[in-house]
Amino acid sequence: GNSVTQMEGPVTLSEEAFLTINCTYTATGYPSLFWYVQYPGEGLQLLLKATKADDKGSNKGFEATYRKETTSFHLEKGSVQVSDSAVYFCALTNFGNEKLTFGTGTRLTIIP
Amino acid sequence: DTEVTQTPKHLVMGMTNKKSLKCEQHMGHRAMYWYKQKAKKPPELMFVYSYEKLSINESVPSRFSPECPNSSLLNLHLHALQPEDSALYLCASSQDRVGGGYTFGSGTRLTVV
């Protein structure tokens, strides 16, 4: 079956630091990959996505590249802000199965 | 309109009450979902409706009863809940194709007393 493994949190960084949150997946075929963000007290927002190998998703300064050879989709940002403090979920869907499979989530806190 | 709207935002109910959660989208999405999220956990799938028909029930207790009156609306009827059912209930919708991504509502924070 499908599964997503992402780095355990919490992650605490200073403002303007470089961010990497690791995500690897297990799936047959060619899944679509997503990063969702959940701000405190809110629902989930789609941050970025990639639907095929070597695609790069990007949004709000965040990037992630679909690496089929390493089955990874790591989230990066060059300079984080306090407003980026949230929980980040890596997720996938796969052909023939619309169910969204989530990783466990990574709580990110940015200190001024 | 690119939103999924959920009402109410907060709900407190007793274990003998009957209440309903509502979800609405006007993006023409043909799949709609109910998720349950406990604190510090990822969302857990409860139900999937595809073209207004229930396609997935993740072995959810019968005290939760979903309903899809039309392609834009999704309800979750609650009856005789337990305190452990307290959680954030999220509705989502998607196009009927892989890769489209889900659009989530902001959720209903449910407390069972």
pLDDT in tens, B13-26: 999 999 999 999 99
pLDDT of residue A5: 97
Q: pLDDT for A15-64, tens place per residue? A: 999 999 999 999 988 899 999 999 998 899 999 999 999 999 999 999 99
Q: Does residue A32 sit in helix, strand or coil?
A: strand
The percent of residues above 90 in pLDDT, for chain B, comes to 86
A32 contacts B42? CB cut-off 8 A: no
- In whole numbers, what is the pLDDT of chain A averaged over residues? 94
Q: For residue B18, what is the enclosing H or E element?
A: strand B18-25
* Closest Cα in chain B, distance from residue A80 (Å): 22
> For residue B56, which residues of chain A lie inside 8 Å, CB to CB?
99
Please determine, for residue A70, whether its predicted confidence score (pLDDT) is greater than 90.
yes
Which of A12, A8, A10, A20 has its CA nearest to residue A110?
A12
In this structure, the number of other CB atoms found within 10 A of the CB of residue B84 comes to 8
Q: Which of residues 55-84 of A touch B (CB under 8 A)?
A: none
Give me the residue from B40, B41, B99 closest to A32, CB to CB. Answer: B99
Q: Which two tokens stand for residue A43?
A: 């629902």
* Closest Cα in chain A, distance from residue B49 (Å): 11
